[in-house]
Chain A
Amino acid sequence: GAGVSQSPSNKVTEKGKDVELRCDPISGHTALYWYRQSLGQGLEFLIYFQGNSAPDKSGLPSDRFSAERTGGSVSTLTIQRTQQEDSAVYLCASSLDPTGSKRYEQYFGPGTRLTVT
């Protein structure tokens, strides 16, 4: 079945450029999460979307990071003026409506490996 998909799978960019990362959640999943996994680090929460509610942006490391979710489905994470420390694997996850019995299961995409040179 269709899982969470992300694109691109790899992105190499020059320092100072903007990048956009895309996530397609599992159909019917209303919650969407972005995480970052840096080398030697654990998973770092970035942002969470749930339905039409205001997103939880508490994990975004700086104002260079932003995300949107259009139509309650596809999400785009944008990093402006990229820095070398932004190099990481960016993971997207989705889960069913948080009021349901499966609300605590998050399903992850394969990630986008971002390298800032």
Chain B
Amino acid sequence: GEDVEQSLFLSVREGDSSVINCTYTDSSSTYLYWYKQEPGAGLQLLTYIFSNMDMKQDQRLTVLLNKKDKHLSLRIADTQTGDSAIYFCAERMNNRKLIWGLGTSLAVNP
């Protein structure tokens, strides 16, 4: 069935790199997304990767996709306290809906 899994919590020190991991089950997914949700705020699209790519870099963010293992990761370089949020992984099953993970809560300690 359709399923996206993420670890629920991650704690890092300010200045370190954060790596948030996600696994998905459907090999036919076309796009995979990372969204950020800050406390009391809506969801913000951070980045996405097409399934025929294996890496995408955008400033401090690096997305790695291992399609064989159905594994997606988001690396945040030089993590700041403002990066503290919940990060959601999602896969697009068709052009109509996304399947979401439960989110990883990132805590950045000074």
> Which of A14-22, A68-76, A79-87, A105-113 is the contact stretch?
A105-113
Is B100 a contact of A108 with CB atoms below 8 Å? no
With A42-B100, A42-B102 as contacts: A98 and B95 at CB distance below 8 Å: yes
Our pick among A42, A103, A107 for the contact of B95 (Cβ within 8 Å) is: A103
Can you name the residue of chain A whose Cβ is closest to the Cβ of B50? A104
Number of interface residues of A (CB under 8 A): 25
Range for the number of chain B residues in contact with chain A:
20 to 34
Give CA–CA (A60, B4) in the complex, Å: 20
* Cβ contact of B43, chosen from A44, A98, A103, A108, cutoff 8 A: A108
Interface majority SS (helix, strand, loop, mixed), chain B: strand
Chain A residues, Cβ within 8 Å of B4: 42
Q: Tell whether, in the assembled complex, residue B41 and residue A43 are in contact, meaning their CB atoms are under 8 Å apart.
A: no
| A48: Cβ under 8 A from any B Cβ | yes
List B contacts of A56 (CB < 8 A).
96-97
Tell yes or no: A52 within 8 A of B by CB.
no
List chain A residues, Cβ under 8 A from B101: 42
Output the least CB separation between A22 and chain B (Å): 15
The answer to whether the Cβ of A33 comes within 8 Å of any Cβ in the partner chain is: yes
Q: Which B residues form the contact surface with A (CB < 8 A)?
A: 4, 30-31, 33, 35, 41-45, 48, 88, 90, 92, 95-103
Given contacts A41-B102, A104-B48, 8 further A-B contacts (CB under 8 A): A40-B102, A42-B102, A43-B90, A45-B97, A45-B99, A98-B95, A106-B98, A108-B35
